[in-house]
Structures are given as structure tokens and as C-alpha cells.
Amino acid sequence: MKKYLKTIGILAGLVVLTIVAIALLTPWMDRWGATDEEIAATFPGDELVPAPASFVNRAITIAAAPEYIYPWIVQLDATRGGWYSYTWLESMLNCPMVNADRIQPEWQNLQIGDEVKMCAGEFAPPPYIVAQLHPNQAIVMGHQEKSEWVDLYQFVIVPQADGTSRLILRTRTMMVGGIWTVMHPGAFLMERGMLYGIKERAERLARTGSLPLLLEVIPPRRSSSRSTKRSLIFGSCLKASIWM
């Protein structure tokens, strides 16, 4: 009995330590790499979730102009360019994907209303829906519930005077507490890996200067009118499992 109580005590202590660690690290994780000015700035998509329950900004400096960064974000998708993060973790979560090292012109015709999948399998979170496109400036995607946006993923590119660019990943969401608190460190790890993955690819592409040859003229197509009417509870549980 004493051994059993000791085991329970150890497990309870680990849970408490985990909760405390998350609480202490969250402020740092939620503004990793971002400046005070970037956090205070207004970016495309802010108006879609004007009063989020959670507001996160993560940023990185990329030694490349916006036109060498934007195409990598355009082809984000588990069935297209991947998410440029940790393939070993994606495979472990039964969500394998190939993180592209090249810009593919056939993946560049993203439209408002298109789906951006986090996982290619059938048992996957509801895909993001593209809400806004601002060429070489920003891409906004997220999820809706009853025609209202409830969370957003905002990729914003800000050119700098020295020729570099700042890539800011802003999250505005109404989904907090419970499983979202537990998954928060995992989401940070994956997003940090993604930002570094985009940085590496964009800087390599900028060094070659081959972008104009890759993206000449892409024929337009109709915007998609897809909508997300899946269960938000279903999506939240699955999304947590993919991004932990």
C-alpha cells in the first residue's frame, strides 16, 4: 500500500511540475523571436478574430526578400509542400509527409477558400481554410464555426531596410484551456521548426536567384467555396495530437 501511495505521489508531483513548467514557459513561447513592435502591430486577418482568448506571436529573421519566402508558405499542406518541420515526429504521429525542398509551380495557385491540410490521412484534423491572400505580404488561414472565424494562422512577411525580411507567425484563437494547454509546448516546438524550415529554404533559394525561372505565369482558376462544418470538438482533439 505504501509503495502504491508513493507511486501516486510521484505521478502527482510530475503532473504539478509539468503544469508549473508550462505556466512559466508560456510567456516566452508565446512571443518567441517577436519584438514589442511586432506584437503591437496590426496585421492582415486581425479583424477576423478581434478579441481572441489566446494571442501568440512568433517570428524569425530571414536573409531573403519577400518573394523568396512567400512561395514556400503558399505550398504549405501535408499533401503538397509539407509543413517544413520535424518529419520524425510527423511519422511517429502517423502523419507522414514529405517536406519539399523545391518550389513547385503547380502548387502556387492557392485561392481564398482552399483547404490546407495538416495531415494527409483520413483520420486528420479539419483542414485550415484560406481566408486572405496578400501576395508577398501575408497569408491568413483558419477555422470557422457557424460562419464565424474561431482561430487564425497568420503568416506575415515584413521587408527590412537591410534586405532581410521578418516572418511573423501570429495565432489568434478562441480555443484555450484543457487539451490546448497540454499541447502548447508541442505546438511551439513544431512551429519553431517550421519557421526555421522556411528560413533555410528561402535563404537557399535567394542565393540561387532562380525564383523568376520557377514562377513565370500561373494560369488563374476559380476560387473555392469550400467550408468547414466539421465538429470543432473533433477538430480540436485531432489537431492537438498532430501538433504535440
Looking at residue 91, what is its pLDDT? 74
CA–CA gap between residue 208 and residue 125 (Å, rounded):
36
CA–CA gap between residue 230 and residue 211 (Å, rounded):
38
Is 33's pLDDT higher than 90? yes
State the CATH class of domain 31-243. Answer: alpha beta
Is 223's pLDDT higher than 50? no
Closest CA to 129 of 117, 139, 142: 142
Q: What is the C-alpha end-to-end distance of the chain, expressed in Å?
A: 35
Check if the beta carbon of residue 56 is closer than 8 Å to that of residue 170: yes
Looking at residue 57, what is its pLDDT? 98
Looking at residue 113, what is its pLDDT? 97
Lowest mean pLDDT among 76-80, 143-147, 216-220: 216-220
**Per-residue pLDDT tens over the stretch 168-187:** 999 999 988 777 666 778 78
Burial label, 143 (beta-carbon count in 10 A; 0-12, 13-18, 19+): buried
Looking at residue 4, what is its pLDDT? 55
Looking at residue 144, what is its pLDDT? 96
Lowest mean pLDDT among 134-148, 149-163, 230-244: 230-244
Is 159's pLDDT higher than 60? yes
Looking at residue 96, what is its pLDDT? 79
**Per-residue pLDDT tens over the stretch 71-108:** 999 999 999 999 998 887 777 767 778 899 999 999 99
Mean pLDDT of the chain: 81
C-alpha cell recorded at residue 195: 519557421
Closest CA to 206 of 198, 196, 195: 198
Is 63's pLDDT higher than 50? yes
Q: What b/e readout covers 153-162, taking b as 16+ CB neighbours within 10 angstroms?
A: bbbbbbbeee
- Enumerate residues 6+ apart whose C-beta is below 8 A from 183: 240, 243, 244
45 or 243: which carries more pLDDT confidence? 45
| Three-state SS at 127 | coil
DSSP string, 57-113: EEEEEESS-GGGTHHHHHT-BTTTTB-SS-HHHHHHTT------SS--GGG----TT
CA–CA gap between residue 26 and residue 22 (Å, rounded):
6
Looking at residue 217, what is its pLDDT? 39
173 or 125: which carries more pLDDT confidence? 173
Instruction: Residue 200: count other Cβ atoms within 10 Å of its Cβ.
Output: 14
* pTM of the complete model: 0.78
**What angle do helix axes 2-29 and 179-208 make, rounded to 10 degrees?**
40
Looking at residue 3, what is its pLDDT? 54
Is 124's pLDDT higher than 90? no
Is 236's pLDDT higher than 70? no
Is 126's pLDDT higher than 70? yes
Query: How much of the chain, in percent, has pLDDT values that exceed 70?
Result: 74
Looking at residue 97, what is its pLDDT? 86
